Structure 1
Amino acid sequence: MDDRVTENTAARRFEMAIGDTIAAAYYRLEDGKVVLIHTDVPQQLSGQGIGSKLAEGVFRQIRESGRQAVVRCSFMTGWVSRHPEVNDLVVG
C-alpha cells in the first residue's frame, strides 16, 4: 500500500491510492482555509486503518502548506479529537 497522500486541487480532495482504488478526503476552500467536508474510504478497505493514514497525510499536507483546517466531516472530527498534535491547525 502506498500511504502517500497527495492533494488533487482540480477535484478538491486529498487522495491516497490503495491498489486500484482511492481513499479521499474532500474539501472546499473558504477564506484560505481548507474546509474538510467528507472522507471516503472504499467499503472493502474499511477497518484497516486507511482513514487514519489518510487523515495523517491530510493534516501533514495542510501543515506543510501553511494553511489551517475547518473540520466539517464527522470522521475527521473524531480523528482530530484523538490527535491533539493537530489542534494548532484546526479553526472554526
Structure 2
Amino acid sequence: MHIQHNKDLHRFTVEINGHTALVDYQLYDDALDIRKTLVPKEISGRGIAAALVKAAYDYAVEQKLKCLGTCSYAVVWLERHPEYNGQKSTDYVEGSCAIAPHAAKK
C-alpha cells in the first residue's frame, strides 16, 4: 500500500484498484486533527482506514504535534493506540464522520 501525503491539501491518500481512500486533517494549536476518513465501499475491510490514520498520526509525532481526532474513526483509533497520547478535539461529536462508505473524489 503506497500512501501519499499532500501537505497543501492536508490529506493522506491511497489508490487501490482505481479507488481513492483518504484522511483529511487540519493543523492548529500545535496539533494535527483528523477531520474526515473516507474509504470507498469497493475497497473497504482491508485495513486501509487504519493505515491512513496511522500515517497521519505518525507524521504528527514526527512534527512534534499533538494527535487530535474529530472524526469518530480517528478517535476510536487513538483510544486503541494510547502510545500516541491522542485525544478528542473540541469539535468531536459522537458518531460523526465515521468511515464514509462512498467513493472519495481525487
Count of aligned positions: 88
Q: Distance in 1 between matches of 2:28 and 2:67?
A: 10
Tell me which of 58, 65, 68 is aligned to 1:67: 65
Q: Distance in 1 between matches of 2:34 and 2:28?
A: 11
Give the ranges of 4+ consecutive aligned residues of structure 1 lying more than 3 Å apart after TM superposition. none
- Residue type at the aligned position of 2:69: V
Cα distance, 1:12–1:85 mapped onto 2, change above 3 Å: same
Q: Which has the higher helix share?
A: 1
Q: Which has the higher contact order (CA 8 A, sep 6+)?
A: 2
Task: Show the counterpart of 2:25.
Answer: 27
Normalising by structure 1, what TM-score?
0.79
Cα distance, 1:65–1:16 mapped onto 2, change above 3 Å: farther
Q: Distance in 2 between matches of 1:5 and 1:65?
A: 18
Gaps of 5+ in 1: none
Identity %: 28
CA offsets 1:39-63 (integer angstroms, 9 cap, x no match): 1111111111111111221111111
Task: Show the counterpart of 2:35.
Answer: 37
Q: Distance in 2 between matches of 1:5 and 1:60?
A: 12
Q: What secondary structure, in the 3-state scheme, does the structure 2 residue paired with 1:47 have?
A: coil
Normalising by structure 2, what TM-score?
0.70
- Residue type at the aligned position of 1:33: A
C-alpha displacement at 1:36, in angstroms?
1.1
Tell me which of 10, 13, 18 is aligned to 1:12: 10
CA offsets 1:1-58 (integer angstroms, 9 cap, x no match): x2x4332122121223324332211112222321211111111111111111112211
Identify which range, 17-26 or 31-40, moves more after superposition. Answer: 17-26
RMSD: 1.8
